[in-house]
Amino acid sequence: MAVIIAPARTRMTMAALAFIILWGFALSITRYSIPEEMEEGSFVANLATDLGLDVRSLVQRRAKLDVIHSKNYLDINKETGELIIREKIDRESICITKTTSCFLKMDVILENPIRIFNIELEIMDINDNAPLFRRKTMQLDISEATPPGERFSLTNAVDADVGANSIKTYYLSESKYFNIDIQTGSDGSKYVDLVLSGNLDREEHAAHNLILTAVDGGVPPRSGTASIVINVLDINDNAPMFSQPIFAVNVSENSAAGTVVMTLNASDLDEGTNSQVTYSYTLYTSEKTQEVFSLDPNSGEIKVKGVINYEESQSFEMHIQAQDGGRNPLSGHCKVMVFITDLNDNYPEVTIKSVKSALSEDVSVGTLIAVVSVSDRDSGVNGEVALTLNRQKTLPFVLNKSSEGYFELLVAKPLDREMISKYDITLRVTDKGSPPLSENETVTLEILDVNDNAPTFPQSFYTIHVVENNPPGALVTSLSAFDPDLNENQYLVYFIMEKEIVNTSMSMLFSINPENGDLYALKTFDYEREREFLFHIEARDSGVPPLSSNVTVHIIILDQNDNTPLIVSPWRAQGSVVEEVIPRSTDKGHLVAKVIAIDADSEQNSRVTYQLLQISDASLFSLDQYNGEIRTTRMFSYRDPRQQRLVIVAKDNGDPALSATVTIKISTVEHAMSFSETTELPLEYDVFTDLNLYLVIGLGAVSFLLLITILVIIVLKCQKPKPKAIKMPPANRNSVISRNSVISQRSSTIADSTLISSDAYWYSLFLAETRKGKVVVRQPIIPKGAGYFVSSIPRSIGPSETTDSRASTLEQEPRRELP
């Protein structure tokens, strides 16, 4: 119904009339019913249709839903006029009291004009709640004397649902002692009682565990469970019982007071005070027995209280009662027979009459150590005794019976203090009684040391590597020998066994600390002069007489890159420039010059390679990095300058690498007169004659010196005694063999590219020949050198062929084995 706004003078009248009309409309109520737990967005009703409203006016009139005293679970779809679920509705949370009907009241309010519609939404119950017990576990204490038919109330289950969805019945797990009785209250609630259906026996079943299940009437039905724990209370219905009616036990005479004879144990199937057993003598036990033996009333332990003498009484009889602690106590009985056993109660005795506390380890077999006597106060078999040594098989001693009751302790085997330095000799005397008695006596014997062990080194041969250029006084190694003797017999002194090498005493080269065996080098070693040393070190103890042993020490000097390559060809004065002259018409590949450098080091440190450091024209010359040959890479052109400058660096393969440089100035001439490797130079006969004279004189002098040197060497070889060969370890012998094999393999190929000098100085090497008045000069080698390695390695020879600078066909100083 519409409300018309009147003019101002009749406004109050119209407002009152409108209020009365609206109130009348509000009194009309629209009811709906829905089940609980509907999903969000579910359709409830079409309010526009049911209330006779135009759907289009819902938005204009600002339709809204006002829920009374509750949360807003619903909403109006203003486009369709439908009432929909906004949030799931739980009937149990809206209607807390358990009633059959549950309503949700709300108002639909419209404006312009104002209209109010009352809506009641009935929430119908569904079976969404399972029965629930307030107590998951119910404890019941029932006496085993309770008669069958006794009832016990149980806690019922509750179900939040109503009507048919509430609790319908209860079930109890299977039991032959219990069942349940279900009752219905005035409000329809189900109650359950536990009924005892059989006789309980705590000794058979002390506890019963049952499961009570409550089931509702929903579809499908829901259920809930609870545990029933029944503790059966004990009554005193069992008497104490012994395991047997008569006990027999043997007790030795002279048993000490407090000795346990036996412990009685009577069992009672009851529990608590009903099972607490107390032991006591009955009136049938004699007073004498009660004086000799005591009975513990709580533990049932029978102990010796008095003196037991086999000669006075051979047996005792006890009558014992076990009584429980029940209100009406029950008891059980048994008899204990104690038989006394005759005892060998005197121990044999051993007495040391004479003893030595210490013996030297070198005493002879049969040496007397101690005199021992044995005795036993018993008589008969109990008085017969035997004397033995504990662990007889492991001891170097023996007992010898000298007379009745006397024994001698003798040395049976040689003694060794280093094996065992002290003996605890246990003498055991045993009688022949039953049971036999025995007594022990220990003799302590200390073994004195004798210097009978020479010092020993861990190994007989030591190979030690020392890098050359070591500082004087540097520690080479530490040698240590072991002597198992004691005191002064163990104190060791180390020294080097004297030996001369090339008129030099070994003590001038090495020194050893006499106390700890530290070996020091007294000089700086040079690998190019000394390669190895072989000598002996002796360790001597301080005993009387002293004992000693020695060890062989092989010192191997390792090479270090400490020599700079020396350029010997082309020769030039210190700091000067080498000049070479070649014709400008030289073809490509022409050999201009050859740089040769020597390095006194060995192996990788002596490998020399060549590089161009500076060059006027890089396109004109090339340098072979292995043999040092400088060749033209093309022909000279008219644009090329007449003079070319090359700086060549010779570098070894050490770490760090050392190097030397040479500067070569190459001049070109138009004519073919130049010195080269194979170019012949025609000379006039007068020039040839003078030069030939010089050559003959020089060659003759060199030949004479060489002949004298050979004769001197032969004489020295004949006079020098033949050296003893050194027994080298297999590894060293193999290395010598492999080194000689490398020398023989490369001797045929190294002469054309590598020049190796001896340890003596040599002036020059050149070859000259006269052919029809002409002299052919081939690449002069000018400078002097001492022990240098001249390397010019061709590309075809790998690094492995220059590993030993002294392995060459030109070597003049042979390798020697150290004596």
Q: Express each pLDDT in 101-113 by its tens digit.
A: 788 888 888 888 8
Distance (Å, whole) CA 538 – CA 552: 9
Stretch (H or E) spanning 211: strand 207-216
Helix (H, G, I), strand (E, B), or coil: what is residue 685?
Answer: helix
pLDDT at residue number 247: 94
CB 220 within 8 Å of CB 204: no
**Partners of residue 251 on adjacent β-strands:** 340
Q: How far apart are CA 449 and CA 543, in angstroms?
A: 10
Contact 182, 171 (CB under 8 A): no
- DSSP per-residue letters across 701-726: HHHHHHHHHHHHHHHHHHHSPPPPPP
Of 56-60, 140-144, 585-589, which gets the smallest average pLDDT? Answer: 56-60
**Over residues 775-782, mean pLDDT:** 34
Closest of 186, 151, 191 to residue 167, by C-alpha? 191
- Interatomic CA distance for residues 673 and 271, integer angstroms: 138
Check whether 318 has a pLDDT greater than 70: yes
pLDDT computed for residue 501 by the predictor: 67
pLDDT at 760: 28
Does domain 349-448 bear CATH number 2.60.40.60?
yes
Burial per residue of 310-327, b for 16 or more beta-carbon CB atoms within 10 angstroms, e otherwise: eeeeeebebbbbbbbbbe
With vertex at residue 71, the alpha carbon angle to CA 65 and CA 77, rounded to the nearest 5 degrees, is 35
Q: How confident is the model at residue 751 (pLDDT cuts 50, 70, 90)?
A: very low
Q: What is the pLDDT of residue 613?
A: 86
Considering only 51-65, 445-459, 516-530, which range has the smallest mean pLDDT? 51-65
Secondary structure letter of residue 778 according to DSSP: -
3-state secondary structure of 486: coil
Place of tokens 């203090």: 417
Beta 461-467 vs 510-512: how paired, if at all?
unpaired
Domain 566-669 has CATH 3.10.450.50: no
> Does 2.30.29.30 match the CATH number of domain 241-341?
no
Cβ-contact 297, 280 below 8 angstroms: yes
Question: What CA–CA distance (Å, rounded) separates 105 from 119?
Answer: 6
The phi and psi torsions of 363 (rounded to 5 degrees) equal -70, 155
Distances (CA, A) of 588 to 619, 620, 633, 638: 11, 9, 5, 15
- DSSP state at residue 40: T
Phi-psi region of 503 (alpha: psi -120 to 50; beta: other; left: phi over 0): left
CATH homologous superfamily, domain 132-233: Cadherins (2.60.40.60)
| Amino acid found at 540 | R
Query: Taking a C-beta distance cutoff of 8 angstroms, is the pair 140, 103 a contact?
Result: no
* pLDDT band for position 800 (cuts 50, 70, 90): very low
Percentage of the chain with pLDDT > 90? 26
Segment holding 274, helix H or strand E: none
Residues of the chain with CATH 2.60.40.60: 30-123, 132-233, 241-341, 349-448, 461-558, 566-669
- CATH H superfamily, domain 461-558: Cadherins (2.60.40.60)
Interior angle at CA 564, CA 559 and CA 565, nearest 5: 105
500 - beta bridge partners? 505
**Which residues are CB-contacts of 732 (< 8 A; sequence separation ≥ 6)?**
463, 554
Distance CA 118, CA 95 (A): 20
With bands split at pLDDT 50, 70 and 90, how would you rate the model's confidence at 476?
very high
Band (96; pLDDT cuts 50, 70, 90): confident
Whether the pTM exceeds 0.75: the reply is no
Is the pLDDT assigned to residue 790 strictly greater than 70? Answer: no
Which residues are within 8 A (CB) of 204 and not within 5 positions of it... i.e. 6 or more apart?
none
Residue 144 binned pLDDT confidence (cut-offs 50, 70, 90) = confident
pLDDT digits (tens, 9 = 90+) for 630-664: 999 988 888 888 888 888 999 988 888 888 888 88
CB atoms within 10 A of CB 663: 16
Sole residue written with tokens 């008045």? 773
246 vs 5, which has greater pLDDT?
Answer: 246
d(CA 203, CA 268) in angstroms, rounded, equals 10
Chain segment 693-707, per-residue pLDDT in tens = 777 888 888 888 888
Domain 30-123: which CATH class? Answer: mainly beta
Query: What's the whole-number average pLDDT of the chain?
Result: 78
